[in-house]
Amino acid sequence: MAKRIREDAWLFRVAKQIVEELRPHAVGTCLRVRQPRRVHPTDTAGWSAVIGNAGKGKPLLEIWMDRFSGYSERKFYAAFYSKDKQAIRSLAHSSKSLWPVREVTDDDITDTLAGRLKRRLRVNEFNEPVLENYEETNNHFFGFYDPTQGAEAQVQEHFCQQAVDFFLDVARAQPNAQPEDAASEIYAKCENRKWVKAHLGRERSRYLATQCKVRDKYCCQVCEMDFATVYGKALGGAFAEAHHKKPLGTLNAKVKTRLEDLITVCANCHRMLHRMEGKAGDITKLTSIVRKQRRMKKQ
């Protein structure tokens, strides 16, 4: 019973934190966010909380913690939910950067009281969008599962950020969604604005960018700067930027950006990369410049 109370409370704290981080960024989207009143027990050996919706009568935004993924440890899950199959399918297919890696149906789950996957999620399926369609119960989901490993504070930090980014990326891909209110970054040496727009659009896929930063431990891969070390964890923790490695001239709007296409950088190195020519080798060239400048300062 003690473990249930701890994880029940943990889910509630996580859901509340996601709402606080999501609300200021949801302006101009269909998302309507609200603080959860409580968590609800589920038939998947866990709990869930509703934190809003994608508009009146539209899919709900939900946060779960359960054993559905097929593991003995409970895993966090963030998703859109609806009884309307087409509404969920439309959300799942609206963003090219969040195309489902797996579709789960009634045939994929056990018949036990504590429902879970017959074939548990593979390691590379965590943090990737999953589409779930259950015709027998008319329940439909589009979301992602978190590996949920490590200390509570560490898990909470990265899962909350990825949940926020997942919901926002899907919402920004919907018709009539307003673009984020951020100043466009300009390449000083590039005149082809179509390339620039495509490049920046891929960097600003929030969910994929967060996966990149988590992978690189929020450390700049050019100058090795760690914001938490320089500014302290309270201010600089879980902060960095993502840069698309592919040269501007080779971008193809129809090709899906993958995690390996992005690299974590600090704000300064990111701006310097944007001042360069957008060619293959820019990252290596800038890394060499940084190292050379450091050697000169030591002389």
Residue 114, pLDDT above cutoff 70:
no
Residue with tokens 């450091």: 294
Mean pLDDT score across all residues of the chain: 86
| 8 Å CB contact between 27 and 18 | no
Question: Bridge-partner residues for 133, per DSSP?
Answer: 140
**Burial code of 230-258, b = ≥16 C-beta within 10 A, e = fewer?**
eeeeeebebebbbbbebebeebeeeeebe
pLDDT of residue 63: 98
Mean pLDDT, residues 78-98 taken together: 92
The answer to whether the predicted template modeling score (pTM) of the entire model surpasses 0.75 is no
Distance CA 173, CA 298 (A): 49
Q: Which helix (H) or strand (E) holds 273?
A: helix 267-275
Mean pLDDT, residues 42-65 taken together: 96
The per-residue pLDDT for range 2-39, each reduced to its tens digit, is 444 589 899 999 999 999 999 988 988 999 999 999 99
